[in-house]
Structure 1
Amino acid sequence: MPAPRRVASVIRLRPEHAETYRMLHRAVPQPVLDTLSRAHVTNYSIFLREDTLFAYYEYTGEDYDADMAAIADDPQTRRWWTLTDPCQQPLDSARPGERWVTGEELFHLD
């Protein structure tokens, strides 16, 4: 089995929505979690420092683009995003339409 693909990304948290964002993530809907699992997303964590959200997950599938498209097409996940997206503000370096900006992996201790 190949090693998982490690993905890290960042986005800003709008300070006025910080408590809402925390509350939402205390009870992520099970259908959203199931969609992530079906798309081979594991070890998913989101961290907060000041107004920056840092996400990390591992991808264990074979077709990353197709699995990410399946997540984006899932109606429950799309509904979830209508709740979480207003809490977030993409970085200035984000391309048009891009929300979470993926980071470049510079180091990994295995």
Structure 2
Amino acid sequence: MSKRVCQIIKLKPAAEAEYKEIHAAVWPGVLAALERAHITDYSIHHYPPLQLLIATFKYTGSDYEGDMKKVGDDLETQRWWKVTDGMQESFIEGAEGSGRDVPWWTEVEEVFRFKGKA
């Protein structure tokens, strides 16, 4: 059974151009780690008036927590997060960065979904 996830975080205004530039060419190792963790259809949207980044993805595996831990253990992903975390501000009190005990991105509740005809 698949799961859809939506997360938000604040983008520091001074980092907007750099954030978009780095995401125009995401490192292949980072994408491979996501793929190994059964993550598909991943996108990040930017809403400048609130400096908001909105990420959505579909998880198609059977062990979400385990697969997310594998992503966090990936060395290339850890290096990526060292770059991107500095461009962001978490909404979660006590968050210190991606891959730590306290989540960096905030998961938001889905309140509506229309699948339409497949």
Instruction: Give the TM bin, normalised by the shorter chain.
Output: over 0.9
- Report the number of matched residues: 106
User: Equivalent residue of 1:44, what SS?
Assistant: strand
Tell me what 1:10 maps to: 8
Aligned-residue sequence identity (percent) comes to 39
1:20 maps to a residue whose letter is E
- Structure 2: stretches of 5+ with no match in the other structure: 96-102
1:47 maps to a residue whose letter is H
- Structure 1: stretches of 5+ with no match in the other structure: none
Tell me what 1:58 maps to: 58
1:11 maps to a residue whose letter is I
User: Equivalent residue of 1:34, what SS?
Assistant: helix
1:49 maps to a residue whose letter is Y
Deviation at 1:95, TM superposition (A): 3.8
Length-normalised TM-score, structure 2? 0.87
Distance in 2 (CA, whole Å) between partners of 1:95 and 1:67 is: 24
Distance in 1 (CA, whole Å) between partners of 2:20 and 2:110 is: 27
After superposition, give the CA deviation of every residue in 1:66-95 in whole Å (9 maximum; x if it has no partner).
Answer: 00000000000000001100000012xx14
Structure 1 segments (4+ residues) deviating >3 Å: none
1:54 maps to a residue whose letter is I
With CA pairs under 8 Å and 6+ residues apart, which has the higher RCO, 1 or 2?
A: 1
